Amino acid sequence: MRPARALFGQRARLRWLHLILGGALFMPFWMVGSLAAGPLLGGGGLFTGDLWVQLLAYVVGLPLAAVAALFPLARPMSVAAARALCGVDADRFADGPAHGPEARGRTAGWFTLHLGAGALVSGATLALPPFAVAVIALPFSPGLRESALGRLWGLDRAWIRAAPLAGLLMLLALAAVAAATGALLARQAPRLLGPSPADRLAAAERRAAEAESRNRLARELHDSVGHALSAVTLQAGAARRVLDGDAADLEFVREALTAIEETTRRTVGELDWVLGVLRDEGTPEHGPGPGLDALESLVRGAGPRVALTVRGALGSVPEALSREAYRIVQEGLTNAARHAGGAPVTVRLDARTEELEITMENPLPDRPAVTRPDGGRGLRGITERARQLGGTAGAGPADGVWRLAVRIPR
């Protein structure tokens, strides 16, 4: 059962098909070789029966196939066929065109091996089965026994009786050769079509870029949604305390509800942008996220105890820096809302020099806040944003207050 599966199982059949595909791809090169070999050996045209012309056309076609494999599409096409038909793990192949002499040389070696072996197996697949079937039918057909095949086989009765077994052995031999050749190609495929050092470096760079993109989107979600939840919680709690008091200040409650409405509306828009990027739909119409032009709205939504001071023209800040600065202020306000217990928060931005300076301060809480050893995702995200733009960020107690100081070159 196991030998039969090795010769005629699904994997063996797919590899046989892969070889036949190689033979089909070799046909144009063989035809060009025939045009050169025919006049050279004094043979006939393209489809001459001269064996030497056929062999010379095959020899001439192989280097032509190797040259064709130097084109960029040769490796992606070969990898796609090998992945589908050779039964080799997909992750052992390289992706994309071959770059560099070493990768191109390995691709040319594979392409030549595939087409050369495929041409031989394909020729045998076309020629041998009809011959074997005719040999099997010799004892049962007087016409075949009187034909050239019968004379070639011999009219001795013992030879005639052995013809069916000989025909079956021919078919088994063809299947064995195809299976062995397919297995050889499968073993060579990862070595010749596998990633080169340049491919591995490019793949590592792609993975790093994808990881950075995921981290950036995670920071956007953390900063946007986290700030919105903190701001809404703070405003709702303040409004509830006012309503529960002896003299309800309806104007304060109205302002708190307005701030909640603005915060949630803005956050829904930012969330829609992030989800659009995650769905690979490109950047939505409302742009790549808020910048410093939306800073006043952000501070207003954070509550009445947040004071904003701006020095210099924020409109001159580059767009990318403006977006990152907005997120830094947003995360700073979120941390203050979580840990400062509603204490006043001072936000200062200075855009008068070659650096954008962001300073945020709030009184230290009466009880030390519970902090994580790594500083939490918020402060870590602020540091990552600053470092990506060549700046610095630091946070901690200083002069009786909690201070966040960020400096980013413009």
Whether residue 318 sits in one domain with residue 212: yes
Whether residue 188 sits in one domain with residue 133: yes
Whether residue 240 sits in one domain with residue 176: no
Mean pLDDT of 97-101: 87
The letter for the amino acid at 303 is: G
Whether residue 105 sits in one domain with residue 7: yes
Q: Which of 141, 169, 195 is the last residue of a domain?
A: 195
Whether residue 191 sits in one domain with residue 233: no
CA angle (52, 58, 62) in 5-degree steps: 150
Pick from 159, 142, 123, 102: which is nearest to 30 by CA?
Answer: 123
Domain tally for the chain?
2
Whether residue 227 sits in one domain with residue 124: no
pLDDT at residue 120 is higher than 50: yes
Where in the sequence is the domain holding 182, given as residue range(s)?
Answer: 2-195
What pLDDT is stored for residue 334 in this prediction? 80
Pick from 357, 364, 410, 408: which is nearest to 384 by CA?
Answer: 408
Q: Are 41 and 52 in contact (CB under 8 A)?
A: yes
pLDDT at residue 330 is higher than 80: yes
Q: Lowest-confidence range among 20-24, 259-263, 334-338?
A: 259-263
246: domain CATH number is 3.30.565.10
Q: Any idea what DSSP says for residue 9? A: S
Whether residue 298 sits in one domain with residue 177: no
State percent of the chain over pLDDT 70: 80
- What's the rounded Cα separation, in Å, for the pair 329 and 8? 68
Q: What tens digit of pLDDT does each residue of 244-280 get?
A: 766 667 777 777 777 777 777 777 766 776 666 666 5
CA dist 351 → 23, 160, 332, 410 (Å): 69, 101, 18, 9
Q: Which of 134, 163, 195 is the last residue of a domain?
A: 195
Whether residue 228 sits in one domain with residue 183: no
CA dist 57 → 22, 63, 112, 247 (Å): 16, 11, 14, 102
What pLDDT is stored for residue 373 in this prediction? 43
Confidence category of residue 36, pLDDT binned at 50, 70, 90? confident
- What's the rounded Cα separation, in Å, for the pair 396 and 167? 88
Whether residue 216 sits in one domain with residue 172: no
Pick from 122, 105, 95: which is nearest to 69 by CA?
Answer: 105
**Cross-strand pairs, 398:** 401
Higher-pLDDT residue of 297 and 130 is 130
Whether residue 111 sits in one domain with residue 211: no
CA dist 239 → 27, 32, 227, 269, 300 (Å): 82, 87, 18, 25, 15
Whether residue 403 sits in one domain with residue 264: yes
Higher-pLDDT residue of 217 and 8 is 8
Whether residue 255 sits in one domain with residue 363: yes
CA torsion sign for 33, 36, 39, 41 is: negative
What pLDDT is stored for residue 279 in this prediction? 65
**Cross-strand pairs, 392:** 407
What pLDDT is stored for residue 38 in this prediction? 66
Q: Which of 195, 224, 252 is the last residue of a domain?
A: 195
What pLDDT is stored for residue 357 in this prediction? 94
Q: Are 85 and 77 in contact (CB under 8 A)?
A: no
Q: Lowest-confidence range among 144-158, 179-193, 383-397?
A: 144-158
